[in-house]
Structure 1
């Protein structure tokens, strides 16, 4: 296997990206189908995150199935919904009784003033196959 000094050199890690040229925004997904241990350090004056509290080691969940980084400010957190749908369709997730719940922590950045603020990362962008 040729190494490229990239995150995808790690066995089991896949990376996908979708963008909107008009809005000048997008999202990046780091996919870990078999799960991966993750941690987080949230900083900044106005952080926007989803499911990052699950990464605290005292909690029940031990692995994540994807991480989403998106633009669109708080609106961009919706991209994780699409990633969860993608994983759920493939029966990937934390076993919670009769269901499998994909664990997909996400974080956003503010880019609304760069392009069209009304076009933002959403569930459809997160679920591009």
Structure 2
């Protein structure tokens, strides 16, 4: 969306002001010939210019915000990925450790998190 806003910003900057110049010339010609329509066209041309400037500014703002937001979210996603990767590595290490000890890490087995006796201790705790 930020790229589209930037493209629109560029296009409006190039093409949006073209009608302003043509309308200003036409308004001047009409006024010069004594037509009241010249003043009305001049007001429309001024309003068009204001609206184009507002749209150009809005597109620039959207493009900048999307760029900023994209960078922030990319950094957030990288941070989340690092945390999840660390958790996955820990989980893998615990599983490997459990397998080396004879499968004692899960429910029903001995060791941490298990429901049976801890490894090396007789049932009854003596």
TM-score (structure 1 length as normaliser): 0.21
Larger radius of gyration between Structure 1 and Structure 2: 2
Higher normalized helix content (fraction of residues): 2
Query: Which structure exhibits the higher relative contact order, with contacts defined as CA atoms closer than 8 Å and separated by 6 or more residues?
Result: 1
Which structure has greater strand proportion? Answer: 1
